[in-house]
Every structure is written in C-alpha cells, then in structure tokens.
C-alpha cells in the first residue's frame, strides 16, 4: 500500500545503503539506486581473489535481501529538492533521501560478472611466479596476507609510498604487520611508489620512485579510491560538501540544514576512520530516525550518532590478524580467530536476513 509522503530513495547499495533498504522495506515505499545489481561484503573480496568460491556468499543480489521495493540499476547523476535523476534517465521522486554512495569503484553490473572477475584474479595469481602489490593500506596488506598464506611459493613484493604500513591506524599495528609480512618472506619497500604510466602490458619490469627495479609477472594496484561524490558538485547539495568532497552531516546524520536528506558511510564528514562496521551503525541510526519521522514522532525521539575511536582488525591470511583496540594493539591468532576465518561473512549475511551458509542457485 502506498502512503503519501513515505517515499524513501536510497542512493548506493553498499555496506550502509543495503542495511537501510533491508530495514525500511516494510515501513515505507523504498527505491534503491545502485549501478550494480548486488551488494558486496567488501572485506571478503581479497579472500575471494585467492579462493573464488568464497564470493558465492559475499556477493549478494539486492533482490535476495530487499524483496519489497524498487531497484533502479544505474548511477544517480543529479538530485533536486524533490527528485533524483539517474544515468539511464529515471526520475525518482522522494520524500526522504539517503545518500550512501561511498567510494567510486567501477565494478561489473551483474553478480555473475563479479564472480567471474574473482576467477580471473585467481588465475592471474596462480599463473604468476612473482607478484607486485602496490599500496600498503588495508587492501594491499590484506591481499599480501592472503597470497602469502595460500601461495607461499610466490615471490611477493609490496611497495608503499608511506613511511609505514596501515597509516589509517597506529604505528604499532603497522610495525606488527611489517614483521608478520617479513616472516612470510614478503619483500616490503616503504617510501617508494611505482609509476604505472611508464609500464607497458606484457613487460615484467617495474621502476620505483627511488630508481629501484622490481621484476614481477603481474601486479595488483591497491590504492585508495576517490569518494563517489563528484556528481553532487553540480547539484542542490553542492554547498553541503567539505573541501574533500565529503557530505557534511549533523548528529542525526541529516545533511546539515536539510530535514529530509540523510547521508551515511564513507561519504560523510564524520570525524572517524571509514569502516564498514561503522557505516552499518550509521545506517541503523538513520533507520531509527526515519521510522520516527514516518510514524509522525517528534525530533527529540530521534537518535544521535557519536563518532568512534579508531578500532580496526586487519586480517593476515586465514588465521592471523592485527587488531587495534582502544588501549591495546595485538597481532596473531587471537584477533585472527575473531576475523580471519570467515571474515564476518556469515554474520553479515545473518544481519541481512540470509542463511549464513547456503546460497540459493
């Protein structure tokens, strides 16, 4: 049944947007806009490169958890005070808008294509004797960990332009990670970068900024992706972005000064490290706040979101990890036990109302 004034449009079906779509689908008329037909558990993607069947559980069609609402498979390209325009020409009117477009990461449209991409990455790893990983943030480190554990015979080099690994968290975590990688015979080169513009396909020699030469059969580029907010710069929200392109939100996670537009996840200016589990918590706050509004409740019943201190677990292969907790940084099997086996995939599937193990054909 359609009730006037209850159209919720969600831009982005990633970690944050998918939670809102799932949780509000029976409380409002919900439309999810995403260029992909699926939601991907991002922290499982590196395991899926060494074990492609892992992605069968971590790449989830939006329709599997969002059964009662509309899906528009396209990019949002404009937003006015009343509607959203998509690249494929849809105009979608909204009463409430939730922006959760995260980072720009051009991925295939269908789940099948994404699963095939993991198979191709896996083939690339298997057929190489030597592999270069460019980037020593969480993605590069976790990929190095996966390859080092599953393919210990590969010659692995990781080049990072910063002075230490994992700069998004503390130095202790970076040091423990460096020691772990060294113990697995990964060659780590810090304060160097690789210019891929000078690299030609088929060539197996890479030059670093220090003039060093690295020989590798293939490479993986694991550097940070830009925010997916460039499209907002020509819209009614252009003044709601900070200098880095992040959307400025208030403590109720509304775009500052707007009563009916919310923003969550990596795209916001919330002063905390950008993490999926925090994006999920923000999504829960917006779900509660939208329910209050949709039920005609007063603003004082709405929840506020408080930024968190930097907590993170970075997996190092299947059994180890390094964890930064509020007063402690630990490495090894204990944090590995928490994260590195299933990478929270079963838990996340349960949160999405899905069987943690079985995937329907």
Ligand X SMILES: Cc1cc2nc3c(=O)[nH]c(=O)nc-3n(C[C@H](O)[C@H](O)[C@H](O)COP(=O)(O)OP(=O)(O)OC[C@H]3O[C@@H](n4cnc5c(N)ncnc54)[C@H](O)[C@@H]3O)c2cc1C
The binding site for ligand X (CB under 6 A) comprises: 11-17, 33-36, 42-43, 45-46, 75-76, 100-103, 138-139, 228, 231, 265-267, 274-277, 279
Of 46 and 216, the one with the shorter C-beta distance to ligand X is 46
Of 9 and 132, the one with the shorter C-beta distance to ligand X is 9
Per-residue tokens: 327: 């007063």
The CB-of-330 to ligand X minimum distance in angstroms stands at: 16
- Give the Cα separation of 49 and 137 in Å (integer): 17
Of 151 and 277, the one with the shorter C-beta distance to ligand X is 277
Of 204 and 311, the one with the shorter C-beta distance to ligand X is 311
Reading phi first (left if > 0) and then psi (alpha if -120 to 50, else beta), residue 11 is in beta
The CB-of-143 to ligand X minimum distance in angstroms stands at: 8
- Give the Cα separation of 322 and 336 in Å (integer): 7
Of 147 and 208, the one with the shorter C-beta distance to ligand X is 147
- Give the Cα separation of 52 and 123 in Å (integer): 10
The CB-of-318 to ligand X minimum distance in angstroms stands at: 14
Of 157, 101, 115, 117, the C-alpha closest to 134 is 157
Residue nearest to ligand X (CB): 14
The CB-of-205 to ligand X minimum distance in angstroms stands at: 27
Of 118, 215, 204, the C-alpha closest to 159 is 215
The CB-of-13 to ligand X minimum distance in angstroms stands at: 5
Helix locations, the chain, DSSP H: 15-24, 45-50, 55-58, 62-65, 111-127, 138-150, 171-183, 276-294, 333-339, 345-351
Crossing angle (nearest 10°) for helices 138-150 and 171-183: 20
The CB-of-112 to ligand X minimum distance in angstroms stands at: 16
- Strands in 70-72's sheet, in edge-to-edge order, are 70-72, 29-33, 7-11, 96-99, 261-263
The CB-of-171 to ligand X minimum distance in angstroms stands at: 20
Of 77 and 359, the one with the shorter C-beta distance to ligand X is 77
Alpha-carbon distances, residue 27 vs 5, 78, 97, 227, 293 (angstroms): 12, 26, 15, 30, 11
- Is the distance from CB of 342 to CB of 303 less than 8 angstroms? no
The CB-of-240 to ligand X minimum distance in angstroms stands at: 15
- DSSP string covering 16-74, please? HHHHHHHHHTTTSEEEEE-SSSEEE-GGGHHHHHHSGGGHHHHEEEHHHH--SSEEE-S
- Is the distance from CB of 101 to CB of 12 less than 8 angstroms? yes
Judging by DSSP bridges, how do beta strands 7-11 and 29-33 pair with one another? parallel
The CB-of-126 to ligand X minimum distance in angstroms stands at: 20
Of 60 and 208, the one with the shorter C-beta distance to ligand X is 60
Of 42 and 193, the one with the shorter C-beta distance to ligand X is 42
Of 34 and 121, the one with the shorter C-beta distance to ligand X is 34
């Amino acid at each position: 049944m359609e009730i006037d004034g209850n159209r919720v449009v969600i831009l982005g079906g990633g970690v944050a947007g998918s939670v809102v779509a799932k949780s509000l689908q029976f409380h409002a008329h919900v439309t999810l806009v995403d260029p992909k037909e699926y939601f991907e558990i991002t922290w499982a993607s590196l395991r899926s490169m060494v074990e492609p069947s892992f992605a069968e559980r971590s790449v989830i069609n939006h329709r599997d958890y969002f059964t009662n609402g509309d899906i528009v498979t396209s990019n949002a390209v404009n937003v006015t005070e009343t509607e959203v325009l998509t690249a494929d020409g849809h105009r979608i009117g909204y009463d409430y808008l939730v922006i959760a477009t995260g980072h720009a990461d051009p991925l295939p449209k269908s789940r099948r294509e994404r699963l095939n991409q993991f198979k191709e990455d896996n083939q690339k790893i298997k057929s190489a004797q030597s592999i270069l990983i460019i980037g020593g943030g969480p993605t590069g480190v976790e990929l190095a960990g996966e390859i080092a554990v599953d393919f210990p015979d590969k010659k692995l080099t990781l080049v990072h332009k910063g002075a230490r690994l994992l700069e998004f968290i503390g130095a202790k975590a970076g040091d423990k990670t460096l020691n772990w990688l060294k113990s697995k015979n990964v060659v780590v080169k810090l304060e160097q970068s690789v210019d891929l513009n000078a690299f030609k396909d088929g060539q197996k020699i890479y030059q670093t900024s220090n003039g060093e030469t690295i020989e590798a059969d293939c490479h993986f580029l694991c550097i940070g992706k830009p925010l997916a907010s460039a499209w907002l710069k020509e819209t009614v929200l252009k003044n709601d972005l900070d200098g880095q392109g992040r959307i400025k939100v208030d403590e109720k996670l509304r775009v500052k000064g707007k009563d009916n537009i919310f923003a969550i996840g990596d795209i916001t200016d919330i002063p905390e490290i950008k993490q999926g589990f925090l994006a999920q918590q923000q999504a829960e706050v917006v779900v509660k706040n939208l329910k209050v509004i949709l039920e005609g409740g007063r603003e004082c019943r709405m929840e506020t979101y408080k930024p968190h201190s930097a907590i993170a677990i970075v997996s190092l292969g299947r059994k180890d990890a390094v964890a930064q907790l509020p007063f402690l940084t630990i490495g090894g099997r204990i944090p590995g036990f928490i994260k590195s086996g299933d990478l929270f995939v079963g838990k996340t599937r349960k949160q999405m109302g899905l069987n943690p193990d079985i995937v329907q054909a």
